[in-house]
Chain A
Amino acid sequence: MRIKQLLIGITASVIAVSSYVEMAIADLKFPMLVYRTGAYAPNGIPNADGFVDYYKMINARDGGIGGEKILHPECETGYKTQVGVECYEKNKKDAMVFQPMSTGITYQLIPKATADGVTVYSTGYGRTSAANGKVFKWIFNAPVTYWDGASIAVRHILKNNFGNIKGKKIALVYHNSAYGKEPIRTLQVLSKKHGFKLMLLPVDHPGQEQKATWLKIRKARPDNVLMWGWGVMNQVAVKSAASIKFPMDKFIGIWWSGSENDVLPAGQGAHGYKALTFNAPGDNYQVHKDIKKYVHDKGQASGDGSHFGTVLYNRGLFQAMVQVEAATVAQKIHGTSKITPAMYRDGMENVNLSAKRLEELGFKDFAPPFKNSCENHGGSGLAAVQQWDAKAKKWNLITEYMYGDSDVVQKLIAEDSSKYAAEQKIAERCN
């Protein structure tokens, strides 16, 4: 009896599986690698919601990109590389662009996507030297790289110290992974140039255990602390800094360590904490009004809709906007609305988001203008410093968007990318 039932079950599932036919894809496919579970979910959720809401808004308001609807299948990675590979293999067919949202998965996809001819857009993360379009044909990391970020943070510290930080101590608290290690090289070069002492404090995944790290900071009393953190590590760091009474305005996070989720748990203690950003906070831009009108008011908000206008949600909007804009540009270049992945790459390479274009898209003053080119996949390299106001529970921009130390950064990018080109036997393009 039981075997009979089992057999019926097996036959039924075999029929079900074989009758499953892949949906015909006439639309533009923007697969999403998200993590709404795991240690990095607090940051992954708002970001993914931003993406989905923007895609939905474009589909509802404009009927898609040039008449082609956007498909945005989600694949849950849990920030795990192996799952990321599975998601990529599953969705790569006809995919326009992958946004891995993880440095580990980005490194994984760089050779694969290059071989498969799929664009990877790692917005302000991933491999910094991918900014060199001569070597990395399919990889983009505009508008700003970690090495820009490191030098912008140092520039901000310089400015607050009247241009002289000789003999000062700067500590870097970083996620002990490829992501967190990215800025070290740049900071070492800068420490030689400006004469500050660099202290390296790694924090292991997932970052809940930081007692030893902050004890060291308490003992060594660095003048400034920089942080490359993600997920739960950010909250713990901000809380720990507050509890050892480290002056919060001397504590600067990278743009992935500056969202509401990271500072709210520390309460008033987080007041004055600074972080870099390449997009503005707030929810009263034109794009927000459109999303309210076309998506949220129809009850179609992604997730629970509670992240509307937060830092990472806004960043999701920005990332999605660049990806959609690349498709628009590609359609213009090739004169067809039905673009292929190869055409899409051309579009991404020719993205030119001037102030005027940003305004047309509903992003006026939301982010500094930038453009890609054949040589430059790294965008403008502009970022600003924002500061947390714990009383108003609000991030405020406190500086203009500024450039990093491009002499240092460009040299390092050329060095690292030529090393990669030699390893992988890639001939330089754009000559």
Chain B
Amino acid sequence: MKIPYSKQDQYVYTALRFFSLVVVCLLIAIIFQLFMASKLAFDEFGLSFVTDDFWNPVDDEFGALAFIFGTVVTSILALLIAGPVSVFVAIYTNEFLPKKIASVLGLFVELIAAIPSIVFGLWGLYYLAPFVKNFLAPFLKKYLGFLPFFQGSSFGIGILTAAIILAIMIIPTITSVCREVFKSIPNLRKEAALGLGATKYEMVKIAILKPSFSGIMGALVLGLGRALGETMAVAMVIGNNPVISSSLFSAGATMASVMANEYAEADSELHLSALCYVGLLLFVVTFFVNLMARTIVWNNSRKSKR
């Protein structure tokens, strides 16, 4: 029964390597499958799939531009809303609030991240959408109606509502990364700025925001990565209508939402394959966005260590 100890360690190591390889191979197999499943649509539509904006399951004609448009517009809009708010909250919790209150606010923000997407969707469908329809849209129309973004009538569900939900959902991500970034700045620098007679605002600007610019960028890109792939909440409030419209009040659809809506019902093979193609595109895009975020954050943390 006695196995020499060095052998024992070797067996364990081999077993660990084996399981790791299994995981790696599994992912490779899955990605391969995804490519294979998209092949039919790729052969049919090629790269023009990305630039065509018709999506017609009845006639088996597919182009994903409207979904890409919807995804990009909702995500960017969400980022525009969530970005400043998150940075402010991160500054407020890190630099201004007493520790106890800060940890409570921090916990609340994290709890937002824990709420399932479907619950946000339900809330968005029944409460946010009517709110947008009855209050926000008329308000925006009254004061900013001259812009093309705020024209037409709002039915509540649409791009604007989806973007607001997305913004709420990515705030915890951005806030948390920003807080980490701000924490890495030595106190000495903040005190030095205050010592020069700077107001608190000037101190934040000089000693916190400027040096952590790239870190904040990384946080935003990470938030973007999340927003791009968010599915259920968006699918429930965006209206799922693949049109490209300049108005934020109009219904739309995103890459994730179309998959959620049509996958289980797709019966033609080409339709399924087109959905896989959309999935593949989403996978590739989020992969590169996350890679970018990681590179930025990583560079930043390396810089601050120096």
A and B are interacting partners: no
